[in-house]
Amino acid sequence: ALVEADAAKIEQVLANLVGNAVKYSPNGSKIIISSVVEKDQVKISVHDEGIGLTPEEMPLVFDRFFRANNEKTRFVKGFGIGLYISREIVERHGGKIGVQSEADQGSIFWFSLPLAGLL
């Protein structure tokens, strides 16, 4: 699938999603990266087996400086801006970003971009 995008910026989004999957998942767990064309978009997903998010955290996870504050995240480093920046990049490319998650069950972070010529 072809998209019109700034390759370095989309690489930054993907690196952030994969980096978070690694940071918030136990050693030896799986991280699955997939892509699929859905209608007029390509959707990239990063699925992990990590700590997941609570229902209260999910609407906030893309907010600037948001960091989950619990026992499982206490020793994880970060400033809480990676997902915020990722959202900005994806939306400026005409795409969408989201998450499906359940506490202690892992997360699927995804973003979609319009196929080339469809903006």
Q: What is the pLDDT of residues 1-36, one digit of tens each?
A: 899 999 999 999 999 999 999 998 989 999 999 999
Coil, helix or strand at residue 23 = helix
Distance CA 3, CA 1 (A): 7
Q: Please list, residue by residue across 54-64, b when 16 or more beta carbons sit within 10 angstroms of its beta carbon and e when fewer do.
A: eeebbeebbee
Q: What is the pTM of this model?
A: 0.88
Q: What would the pLDDT profile of 79-116 be if each residue is shown by its tens digit?
A: 578 999 999 999 999 999 999 999 889 999 999 999 99
